[in-house]
Chains A and B, each alone.
Chain A
């Protein structure tokens, strides 16, 4: 390590961003590896955050920009990790930078190429509810502000290249191998959403008025596919009754996951509030099992939803959702477990399923490459959950955010700072050991 000591951060979500900024602020050279074309991660997809009801992208975008502009941070977006070798203080990392077919140094993000592209495909950032072009930027606040060509869907008509005044479109780009030497690695790969279509009685993907929570976040977001209007997905009508179902695939023993995703009770409350703010006459019900409002200000937040906003909390996991084939309006059958009555909530215009949030399946590959351990559920294992909550079994590799265990944004940020501090400490220790007269 002749130059500045450096750290590789895998994952450009809020945890990865926080760890990178912490380390860069201390003078470390930080590389942020992100597999999608933009950093921001899941938080960028959210409309608002609990319990403060901040606009999510409004508080995240400045941090994303800070990452981009920081002299000590280099963003490696649209890239994959290929190989990790070496040990703490001296990791050799191979990264594959996938071709964007757009020159990052030339593209200004003016989007005139997007306007001319004839191909429309569902936008992954909008949970496939909205459309994007084959040359695209996933979201307006994308960082880096660079277009990407999706070659799977591109028909190579060349229109984008013709209209680009910066001459940035370059179809000759090839995958690029990048070799890095870093002193420490931080893993922050976040989560994936469980696909609830397996739970057939809830009719996800069969019934049009059933959405998942992340889909709903995009659905009501002002920059989302319908511009933030509260609509029925089936026909664009105005909803009068909306219901949330918790624990869809979580805390189970058959389908989904055995663990509690820890954020659903709170984000459902938050989304209920968003609905009531959009349209105060909409009746909102939340079907919960155990209301886990465990954090600071959380119970108060739920109380406010109940008292000020009139959100109805029903203790039950509904049995099934049935649809009126003509109106597409839904009926939810449930057992009100507090009164022991079997009831039907009729005339529901929109059901939001709160699915289990899973550690990413790609963690397995990452764990193999980096030699770190996963637990049975696919989370990264730490050496001691109480006393070493960010240390993996490999010295010099740390972990933070949802990929370590279910947690919300504040906890992810706190853990990211912890991982940054531990990474800095590990590098410092190696430096001391290798200094003349050191032990190594």
Chain B
């Protein structure tokens, strides 16, 4: 059997790393041919997404090489590279690929020898370590159900009831995107489809602007399923090679797709707080979702998403419940599904359903409304009725409060407003459960924003798609509305709402900070705080900036 030859991708900066490699070549130094070099202007250009994408494509190691600290030709690009590589290493560890498959080196233009020795050393180490768990043949088992990109536009219109459109304009005048960007409107999308202009529908940039926030569907008198129409058309467009403008360079899609690999073996339970308990078999399963990854990716905007999972686990423990946690739980696939990658979504759906079925639990609780919708609606659509009941944390906590399983002692003097996540509210119709939880905490006063419940404004981005000027405008609008309630705390029950609103707060805004600055917090974290289960209150740390 031939010896294993690792495949390495090298992202080298133009001025140092690449010049170093060049010197190695002109100096006739020999080094292993396992590296494939990609030249970039600066190592600061290397996004975590690039590295993950390389692993997604089956490489065994990635090398990032830039100028020595202080020598960057763009002043601080290599500092960014260092931070990003650090972040990516954490992601690789969680994914089970291993952080030692990623290497950052400072190689100057004069260090041809160093380049050659680094490559030699890296290749040797990878050879000993063996192939990447996700390497090799990336073809995996056929999708669970034939995805419907073959459906004709007329059939899609029929299925989503778009044929009933009266062109009344209620959708477009409700759409938060159309109001900011008239080039996209749900009515025009339907109109084009009605005229049979399939190409126009699929190539429309607006197809990727839609937030699938359900506001148009909520208000449409004809009950047209715009979200489903958009999702199917995106899948169809993607099948034709048209892709949307994804945010974060697609790192979150890469993560989901890597989780869709059947050989993935993640280390995702390192967040369990000391003293907290969980089991491998039981009645209730806590589906954590992508929180361990979000925690790493969004570390720099100050959102500690993993606190949501830690709080939820502590709340469950406080109620005498030891939940089942999956060691190798995979992404629910929601974002891939709404980004047009139906195939990967269906793979994830199949693997998750199988894993959940194996545990034999009767209830699955989620803290993320997107997991909630996907497990409850989309998986059921794919595989029929599930044996377990899917609950959102707010619903389960309401039950626990009503049954006296958890009791609040002491008061939490806070004025609180609540942001309805679109997946939990309009998609699933859960408006009261989170409000019941908030109002049952002694001392907490709930004040509603002007647009609430069915009318609530989306946090600005969904499915990691097209975050831009309009998203920021919506976030500023929403934060101003929250601020106008005079609440101290903006509670949401979706980790993504919290990420997006905090992202806006961490950036330069066209308004004064004090007009929008409000502390945000997840519902589970709020409950854990009220139950005195958390020592630190990150929420307070977060927005005192």
Contact = CB atoms under 8 A, between A and B. Distances in A.
Interface of A: 199-201, 247, 249, 251-256, 289, 315-320, 322, 325, 333-337, 340-342
Contacts of B178: 335, 342
B188 A340 contact: yes
Interface in B138-195: 161, 164, 166-175, 178-179, 182, 185, 187-188
Interface of B: 161, 164, 166-175, 178-179, 182, 185, 187-188, 219-223, 450-451, 453-455
Contacts of A325: 450
Contacts of B188: 340
Contact of B182 (A316, A319, A333, A342): A342
A337 B222 contact: no
Nearest to A341: B182
Most buried by A among B169, B179, B454: B169
Nearest to A256: B221
A333 B173 contact: yes
A318 B173 contact: yes
Contact of B174 (A253, A319, A337): A319
B179 A253 contact: no
Nearest to A318: B173
A254 B222 contact: yes
Given A201-B174, A333-B174, A253 B223 contact: yes
Chain A at the B interface: SS class: loop
A69 B170 CA distance: 51
Contacts of B179: 333, 342
Contacts, number: 83
A434 to B, nearest CB: 53
A319 B221 contact: no
A342 B170 CA distance: 10
Contact of B453 (A199, A200, A251): A200
17 contacts: A200-B453, A201-B219, A201-B455, A252-B223, A253-B164, A256-B221, A289-B166, A316-B168, A317-B166, A319-B172, A319-B219, A320-B173, A320-B174, A325-B450, A336-B169, A340-B182, A342-B178
A253 B161 contact: yes
Given A317-B168, A320-B455, A335 B173 contact: yes
Contact of B169 (A252, A253, A317, A322): A317
Nearest to A199: B219
A201 B453 CA distance: 10
Given A254-B220, A337-B167, 12 more contacts: A251-B166, A253-B161, A253-B223, A254-B221, A316-B168, A317-B168, A319-B219, A320-B174, A320-B455, A335-B178, A335-B185, A342-B173
A336 B185 CA distance: 13
A333 B179 CA distance: 9
Nearest to A254: B223
Contacts of B453: 200
A335 B172 contact: yes
A331 to B, nearest CB: 11
B221 A253 contact: yes
Contacts of B173: 316, 318-320, 333-335, 342
A124 B169 CA distance: 35
With a 10 A CB-CB cut-off, give which of B164, B166, B178, B185 has the most chain A CB atoms. B166
Nearest to A314: B169
Nearest to A333: B173
Contacts of B223: 252-254
A341 B223 CA distance: 23
A401 B168 CA distance: 29
A201 B168 contact: no
Nearest to B169: A335
A54 to B, nearest CB: 32
A342 B167 CA distance: 14
Nearest to B180: A342
Contacts of A333: 173-174, 179
Contacts of B454: 200-201
Contacts of B161: 253
A31 B188 CA distance: 57
B435 to A, nearest CB: 15
Contacts of B172: 319, 335, 342
Q: Which 4 A-B pairs have the closest CB atoms?
A: A335-B169, A319-B173, A319-B174, A252-B221
Contacts of B185: 335, 340, 342
Given A200-B455, A333-B174, A316 B169 contact: yes
A315 B171 CA distance: 14
